Every structure is written in structure tokens, then in C-alpha cells.
Structure 1
Amino acid sequence: MNKFSFITRIPNEPGALHRVAKIAKIHNANIHRIHYNYKIDLNTVFFEISSSKEAYEKIRNELNELGYLQISLEPVHYLKFNIFLPNRPGALFEFLDNITSTNANIAFLDFDERSNRHDKLTVGLTLDNTSTVNLLLENLQQRYPMEILEYDAEGEKLDDTVFYLLFAQKIREIIGTEDDFLFKLLNDINHIVQELTRLGENPKKVFESIITTGNTLKNTQGDKFFADVQIININNDSFLYGIQPPCGGNIYLVESKDELVMIDSGYGIYYGDMVKLFQHIGINLKKLKGIYITHADADHSGAGGLYDVKSYLNKGTLDIINKTNRAYGSAVEECVLEEVYTKLINLFSNFNPPTNVDVFPNKIIKRRGKIPVIHSFKVGDLKFEVLESLGGHLHGQAFFLCPAEGLLFTADSLINFESLSSERKKYNILAKNLMTSVNVDTERARKERKTLLELISSLNEALLSEGKQCLICGGHGAISVFDGNTLKVNGKIHHYGSDS
């Protein structure tokens, strides 16, 4: 028995859903997920079943013969017009015969003989293709006086009877893909909707967040790409570069005289724009020794495979990348929200994770406060420690610390949220809309933040005699310092655009 999924468009009439269930029963298929919500789409129902492959094909064929199986996601046309019906019995029936003969779906009807426009019937239809539209208009114009009110070939005026078709069209505009892939993606997206609806979320808000996420990434590349850059002189031979792309996680570079290390690679979709930015600020990528990845989210690891160097990461991070589920290794591993969000964001962001990797040893060397130290590395004369997180934000997340210079890369466990631009704040909220929380363990995430602040306070005390303080390099936002109460931006922020 294998698991299969299919999407149906069934008429809104008694017994229609029962017919589908009967077909599944006849072929000994077990329905283990069904979702229908008339507030989203009046006719679309999602099914997941367990059956043999042969039975699945028979079920599809029988549903297709009934006209219930959704087999195409081609753009749907919307036509709205007034038609003048003769005032006699059977006039409406004859008109509807013409509609039925062209397989048009009625989205809107308005007629009342007591109104001041008693001879007009206003009709809204959805049709599959242009030839159908032309045939219908030709038939109707030969029989009735009519006025065309609207014709929308792009689907923007479609009503909720074809909501999922319109949504699929919007997804196609973002990523460009074939129907088979879109069917699978729609099924996954519907699973998010089903779960969030149970939790009291507005389903339309879910769809809006998905489309906005995809469009925001698509529309911040190339000539629309921008970034905020901080350049900090660590010592005579070393520099720190902190780069905030338009969306997603920061990219850091630590440069010594002879070598360069990247900490987190950002989204894959920004790779080409980032290379241009590096050239603009004088970074020589030929010096790049390796990439140190804090965690598996696409905005931190998603371009690792595009650089011709080795990436260094925790085993938990590699496991999440391979499982395509950011909840892997956590208490919410079975949560469908996390799994489907991972697929979506990987798709939208051109996820290209590292394949040439070294995994950190799974052995505690010592502790920095309450945080285990599991490995170390050098960049020039700078010595770094690899600290293992508590797993609050994500399983396998790591922090990187240079104690001598007070450089601490805190990933997504400690961020100066106040330093984020309003656009970046809006983008970050989208992920929360789709998962309810960006942390896989909220309580651990709180402890993680508290533990990091305690470590920073301890480092500041040790650095005070040298006139230094700990530089906090969060997964998002500006490089900052901690004054004992709040995080404050350190140094100047330079804005970069592709026309710079």
C-alpha cells in the first residue's frame, strides 16, 4: 500500500462527495486526509489515500470519467455580461442549455423581474480557454441581445469557486513549473491551510503569506537587489564584514591577510547579486577558505553549494538539510507546518545547500558558561570556538566565538530586532504566519537567549581592560553591542544597491 494524493473539483450538490468516497471504497483505498472549505473554494476537495498503484489509477480514471478529477491548472478565463431574455416560460432553461454545452461554470447570476432592469440577466462565467469563450459568445449573440461587462483572460476577477486555480497561476508566475509539480505543491500547501485553520488562523491569510514570500524574493534580485553593509576593523590584519540582504539571514565574512571565511551563505537566489556586492566592497573570493554554517534554514545555508569551497556544519544541520524538514530532531518533528514551510521556502529561494561538507565532532571539549564547546578553527591569527546551541531555534544550530576579540555569531538565537528595517520585519513575519513560530522549541529558545546574554556580559567584563566589547553578530539585523540592558548598533551601516 502506497500513499497517493489527488485534487477533485466536485459539483456543490448532495451526494457528490459521497460518490468520491464510494469509488475509493470499491477499490479498497483508505482515505487518511480530506480537506474541503467552502469559504476558500466552493468546489475543490483535497484527498490523500493509501492504496495499491493499480487501485489509485482506477480511482483517478473513474473520477475523471465523472468530470470530478482536477487534471489541469491552465489559466481560467472570467466573462461577465448582461443578456436580455425573452419574457416567456422556459427562457432561462434554454439559456442555461447553451452554457452547459460549452462546459462553462456559472460564478454569478443576478435576475429580478421586479427591478428597474427586469429584462436583464447578469451572468458571470469561468471558462477553461479562449476558444471556449469565443464559441460561447458566438452561440449566445446569435440568440440574444447582450452586453459584455468584463472579460478577464488572466484570472484576476475569479471568484472563490476557482480559488485554487487562481492560486496555482500565481505560484506558476513566481517559479514557473509544470502542472504535475503544482498539483503536489498545492496538496502540501492545502495541508498547511488545514492545520492552521484548526488553530484558528484565517486561511486566506495563509495563501497571502505564501504568495508574498515568493514575490518578495523574486522582486529583490538583480537591479532590485540591495543590502546593508558594516565593515569593522578587528585588528591590524583582520576585518569583519556584516551584510544584510533584502530578505533572510545575514552573511558574514572574516578576512585576514591571506585568507577569508564566510559565516552563513544566505539564500541561493541572491548568489549572483552577492558576488557583485563582494567585488564592490573589495572582497577577493579566491581567498575564501570555507563556509561555516550556523543552521539549516534556507536563508543561512541555501547558497552553500554554489561556492567552490568546503562547508563546515553540525550533524543536526546536515540531517535537516537532507530530510527537508526544519523540525527534524525536535519535539515538533511531525508538525506538518514546519515540513511544508521548508519545502516552500527552499523552492522560492533556489535552495542550493552545501554538498562538500565537514561535520563538527560530536564531543564536548569544554563549556562557555552553560554552552558546550565542540570544536575550533582559525582565520589567520583569530582563534574561533564552535558552540553547540540548546536547539531552541533549530536542532543542530551552532554559534561561533572568537574570545580574544569578542566576536560572537549568535545565529537566530539573539538578534537586534530594533535594527531591522520595516521591510525586513514584514518579511520575517511571513514565516511566523505559516508556522505560528520560527522556533521549534519556544521555551528552549528563551533559555538560549538568556544564556547568550550571560555569556556576552562575561566576555564584556574580560574585554573591558583592553577597551573592547563583545560584537554580537546575529542571524538578522545589524552587528551590535550589549550595554547590559539592550542591544545597540555598532558602527556605521552603508547601503548598497546594484547601481552603487
Structure 2
Amino acid sequence: MTPSDETSGAAQRRPYINETFQQRIRPYIEILNDDEAKQYFAEAETAVEQLAAIGKDPEEVLQIMENIGLYLSGNSGKNFTADYQKIRLSEGRELWSIQLPGGGNVNLFRTPDGDMVLDTGYGCCYDDVEKMLHTLGIDGFTHVKKVICTHADADHCGAAGFLPVTPLMHPVTKQILDAGTRGFGSDTRNEELERAYTTTINTFSKMNVPDHVDLCKTEPKKMHGLFPVIDEVEFGGMHFEIWESLGGHIAGQLFLYEKNEGLLFTSDALINFASMTKARKDYCSIADYLVTSVNVNSEIARTERHELMRIAKEIDAELKAKGKRLLLCCGHGAVSMLDDAGNMISACEPIHYAAQ
């Protein structure tokens, strides 16, 4: 092939992000002004080129990008569905774990002192979740007095700007939100893919970044296994230790442990995939496809998973001796317990909700 042939081939391939595709996704990027949209299309073009270079079909890449918007818009409003678990805690407290159709769980603690939200879900799900809560006899998010975001992905902090209080997060999470790429603070080799994916998911899901945030402490107080215990939060009679992740899934990710209630929140480092529907698992696989791995460092992520499971089994054994069990609250899927073989099973059967 001559240089002119190569040039001709390149001209036939580009642009991948053509006018037709731009028009197809316009409904999902309405919040971007003209300059922002132009920059996004340029970043997306580079991402498609990189994925094509490793053997992925550009047309399939474009369709999968569009599928994010199609899935989120097709599972909202009158078509919104979710699953939830209502778990009774001590002294009149309750944990409502709401598993959204796309994205991470919303964890709502109801206490005599008010409500606390741990992870907010996508911005585009906020109205639907609030309506769901009203339908279930809860006064929406009216009584929320504390919000904690475990990490910067849109499905975990995307509705933070809608909630009535300033959210708490790791300083690196704030930096990731400011930088506009989930690759910030990591040694990922896929920075251009991470940036294009971050803009896609944040925009399509209508992320609402809060104007102000509270930052957790970062100086280690002690260690719990491999994880530094960097801060503590008191709310509604509960005492949460905040553990800092090793940064396998994303830099700045937090885990939370409430000893008295036996709750371990692992965010996206540990997930009960078996409890998820096929549609939700398929949607979660989009990130793997578009950035080659949902984790910014897969090796570190494996280390985190193994360590969290080791710790979970250790804590569960201690609680069993007291007649209690550890509840594993993962970033996606059902709140779980460990069976005799050490595998995660749903702590109670999730209840299905459909918009009325």
C-alpha cells in the first residue's frame, strides 16, 4: 500500500463522529454549550480511533455509546423501575438500599434524628427516586441531613447537587469532578478513553455536581487490613469508620464500616453480580467496553476485592459468635450476606418497584 492509499483509507474512515451520529445523541448532551459539545465530539473521535486500533468495530463503539442514552432515557419517568431492600437496624433505624435500573445503589438511612444518604445515583434518576420514596410512604429526601459520596463516578454522586445538604467526599473525588476525567489521580494508560467516557456518562446521565462539598480527612488513624482508616462519621446514633481504598476502581474511593450494626459498604470494589438482572449487568459492562476496564488499575482492584472478602469473612465470624451477621452493602446489586461457602447471597429478597 502506498502512502496515498493509506491517506485515502484514513479519509474514508474519518470522522467516526459524523453529523449523523452527532444528531442521534443531541438529546443526551443538551446541557453542553456549542464549544463544550465541539470539544466532546473531538475527544470522542479520539476514543473511537483508539478502540478501533485495538480491534473494536467503530460502528459498534458508536452504538454502545448511544446505548447509554437510550438505556437511561428508556428507564426513566413512566418506565422507571428499581429494586429495594428495607433492612431494620437497631433502635428504630432502617436502611433502604435502592438498586437503580442503571448505575449504583442509593442507600438511605432513616433514623429518629433524620435521614442520611450514602451514594446518590445518577442525576437523571433523582426525580424518579424521590417519587418512588413518596409512593413507599417516605417523604422523599426532605429529611436528609447527611450525604456521603463514596467516589466520583456519576452513578454514585451524580445527584449530589440536587440534595439539600453539602456532601462529604474524599479530596481526590472533588479533584476528579473538577478535572472531568475519572482517570485523574491514577496511573491509567487510557487517559483519553477515560476522559471521553467520563464526559459521555456524566452528560448523558445529567450529572449535577454540587457547588460546595465537605472533604473528609486523609491522615491515617490506624489500619484495617490493607486499608487506612482516615476518618469517622457519627449520624443517627451510628458510628462509621471511613476506610480509604487502594485506588483500584478509581482514585479516592471510600469504604464505610459500622461496627455495631455490622454494615460494610464496599462501593464498587465488591459487587454481588449474581443478584443483578441481565439488563443491569449488560449496562454495567458498557464501561468495560469503552475504557477496556471499569477499573483504572485492575491488578490493584483484584487485591482490594480479595482483602475486602478476607475482612468480611473475619468480621462475619466475629458477629456470628454474638448471634449477628455482617451485611455487605455493595455498590451495585443486593445487600448481601456470606453463605457457608463464603459466597455472597442476598440478605433478603429485593422488592420490585415500577413507576405508577
Whether the TM-score (by the shorter chain) exceeds 0.5 is: yes
Q: Distance in 2 between matches of 1:305 and 1:440?
A: 25
What amino acid does structure 2 have at the position aligned with 1:486? N
Q: 2:151: which partner in 1?
A: 295
Asked if 1:418 corresponds to 2:274, the answer is yes
After TM superposition, give the deviation of residue 333 of structure 1 in Å. Answer: 6.5
Residue 403 of structure 1 contacts residue 459 of structure 1 at CA under 8 Å; is this kept in 2? no
Quote how far apart the aligned CAs of 1:446 are: 0.3
**What do the CA deviations read for 1:290-329 (whole angstroms, capped 9, x no partner)?**
1111000000011101111010011111111110110111
Are residues 1:339 and 2:191 paired? no
Residues 1:266 and 2:240 are matched in the alignment: no
Given the alignment, which residue of 381, 384, 389 partners 2:240?
384
Does residue 172 (structure 1) correspond to residue 12 (structure 2)? The answer is: no
**Does 2:326 correspond to 1:352?**
no
Cα displacement (A) at 1:245:
1.1
Q: Provide the rounded CA distance (Å) in 2 between the counterparts of 1:240 and 1:486.
A: 22
Q: SS state of the match for residue 22, structure 2?
A: helix
Q: Tell me the equivalent position of 2:169.
A: 313
Question: In structure 2, which of residues 58, 81, 92 is the aligned counterpart of residue 203 of structure 1?
Answer: 58
Change (3 A) 1:359 1:169: same
Give how far 1:254 is off: 1.4
Deviation at 1:45, TM superposition (A): 4.6
3-state SS in 2 of match to 1:476: coil
| 1:497 match | 354
* CA deviation string 1:260-279 (max 9, x = no partner): 11000110011111111121
Q: Which amino acid aligns with 2:64?
A: S
- What amino acid is aligned across from residue 20 of structure 2 in structure 1? L
Superposed, which structure 2 residues align to 1:6-405 within 5 Å? 36=10, 38=12, 40=13, 44-45=14-15, 164-176=18-30, 181-284=36-139, 285-332=141-188, 335-405=191-261
Does residue 431 in structure 1 map to residue 259 in structure 2?
no
**Contact 1:254–1:379 (CA under 8 A) maintained in structure 2:** no
The whole-number CA distance in structure 1 between the counterparts of 2:33 and 2:212 is 30
Matched, 1:472 2:333: no
Q: Which runs of 5+ in 1 are unaligned?
A: 1-13, 19-34, 47-162
Amino acid at match of 1:237: G
Say which of 460, 466, 470 aligns to 2:316.
460
Give the Cα separation in 1 of the matches to 2:137 and 2:129: 12
Closer/same/farther in 2, CA of residues 294 and 178 from structure 1, 3 Å limit = closer
Structure 1 residues 436 and 333: alpha-carbon distance in aligned structure 2, compared to 1, 3 A threshold: closer
Distance 2:110 2:229 in 1: 23
TM-score normalised over the length of structure 1:
0.67
Quick check: 2:29–2:37 contact (8 Å CA) kept in 1? no
Structure 1 residues 17-41: Cα deviation after superposition (integer angstroms, max 9, x where no partner): 79xxxxxxxxxxxxxxxx9363x4x
Q: 1:283, CA displacement in angstroms?
A: 2.6
> Contact (CA 8 Å) 1:168, 1:182: kept in 2 or not?
no
What is the CA–CA distance in structure 2 between the aligned matches of 1:318 and 1:336, rounded to whole Å?
A: 20
Shift of 1:497: 1.1
The number of equivalent residue pairs is: 350
Q: What is the CA–CA distance in structure 2 between the aligned matches of 1:388 and 1:220, rounded to whole Å? A: 33
Counterpart secondary structure, 1:347: helix
Relative to the length of structure 2, the TM-score reads 0.93
**Cα shift at 1:378:** 1.6
- Retained in 1: the 8 A contact 2:337–2:344? yes
Q: Is the 8 A contact 1:388 1:396 kept in 2?
A: yes
* Larger RCO of the pair (alpha carbons < 8 Å, separation 6+): 2
What do the CA deviations read for 1:208-250 (whole angstroms, capped 9, x no partner)? 1101111111111110111101000011321111001110111
Q: Secondary structure at the match of 1:418?
A: helix
Structure 2's unaligned 5+ residue stretches are none
Separation in 1 of the partners of 2:191 and 2:219? 29
How far 1:180 moved relative to its partner?
5.4
Q: Could you tell me how far apart the structure 1 residues matched to 2:190 and 2:310 are? A: 33
Q: 1:243 to 1:37 in 2, by over 3 A?
A: farther
Matched, 1:485 2:339: no
Q: Verify the 8 A CA contact 1:226 1:497 in the aligned structure 2.
A: yes
Greater Cα offset, 422-431 or 176-185: 176-185
Deviates more, 1:176-185 or 1:470-479: 176-185
Kept in 1, the 8 Å contact 2:264–2:329? The answer is yes
* CA displacement at 1:287 relative to structure 2: 2.2
SS at match of 1:36: helix
Alpha-carbon contact 2:43-2:195 (below 8 Å) kept:
no
**Structure 1 counterpart SS, 2:23:** helix
